[in-house]
Amino acid sequence: MRKREMSLLLLSRLSALLVLGVLGGLLAFLISRGGPVLGKELFFGDTPPLEALLGLRPVWNGLWPAVAGTLFLLLLTMAFAVLPGIGCGVYLSCFASPREKYWLSLAVDLLAGIPSIVMGLFGFLLIIFLRRTLLPRGSTGMLLAAFCLALLVLPSLIVATRSSLEALPDSLLLAAEALGFSRGQTLRHVLLPAAGQGILGGVMLALGRAAEDTAVIMLTGAVASAGLPGGLTSKFEALPFAIYYTAAQYADRAELDRGYGAALVLLCLSGGLLFLSWRLQRNLERRWKGVR
Partner 1 sequence: MFSSSSSPPWLRTVSLGVGAILASVFAFILFSALAALLRGVEWEFFGAVWSPREEKFGLLPMIYGSLILSFSALALGWVLSLGCCCTLRGLGPRWLAKILLTSLRFMTAIPTVVYGFAAVFLLVPVIRSAFGGSGFSWLAAAVMLALQGVPAMTLTMDGALQSIEEQTSLTAAALGLTPVQHLTWVVLPASKKWLLSSALLGYGRALGDTLLPIMLAGNAPQFAASPLESLRTLTAHIGLTLSTGAGGGERSSLLLAGGLLLVNSMIVSLTARALAGRGPAA
Query: Which residues within the stretch 169-228 sit at the binding site for partner 1 (CB under 8 A)?
Result: 173, 183-184, 208, 211-212, 214-215, 218-219
Residue 223 has a CB neighbour count (10 Å cut-off) of 18
Residues 109-148 that bind partner 1 (CB under 8 A): 109-122, 124-126, 129
Q: Which of 163, 181, 274, 282 binds partner 1 (CB under 8 A)?
A: 274
Q: Which long-range contacts (CB under 8 A, 24 or more apart) does 246-255 make?
A: 249/224, 254/61
Binding track, positions 38-67, relative to partner 1; x by CB under 8 A: ------------------------------
| Near partner 1 by CB under 8 A: residue from 91, 163, 167, 234 | 91
* CA dihedral sign of residues 141, 146, 147, 153: positive
CB-nearer residue toward partner 1: 68 or 108: 108
Among 39, 87, 169, 193, which residue interacts with partner 1 (rule: CB under 8 A)?
87
87 vs 196, beta carbon nearer partner 1: 87
Nearer to partner 1, 47 or 93 (CB): 93
* Piece of 15-23, 37-45, 61-69, 227-235 that binds partner 1 (CB under 8 A): 15-23
Residues 6+ apart with CB under 8 A from 261: 34, 37, 38, 42, 63
Residue 222 backbone dihedrals phi, psi, to 5 degrees: -75, 140
Site for partner 1 in 93-112 (CB under 8 A): 93-97, 100, 103-104, 106-112
Q: How many angstroms separate the Cα of 74 from the Cα of each of 34, 93, 150, 267, 270?
A: 24, 27, 9, 16, 12
- Give the integer Cα–Cα distance in Å for 268 and 273: 8
Q: Which of 67, 92, 146, 199 binds partner 1 (CB under 8 A)?
A: 92
Among 49, 55, 58, 84, binds partner 1 (CB under 8 A): 84
The binding track of 229-258 with respect to partner 1, each residue x by CB under 8 A or -, is: -----------x--xx-xxx----------
Q: How far is the CB of 267 from partner 1 (least distance, A)?
A: 5
Q: How far is CA 20 from CA 9, 27, 248, in A?
A: 17, 10, 28
- Report in angstroms how near the CB of residue 39 gets to partner 1 at its nearest: 20
Task: Mention every residue, 6+ apart, whose C-beta is less than 8 A from residue 77.
Answer: 146, 149, 150, 153, 210
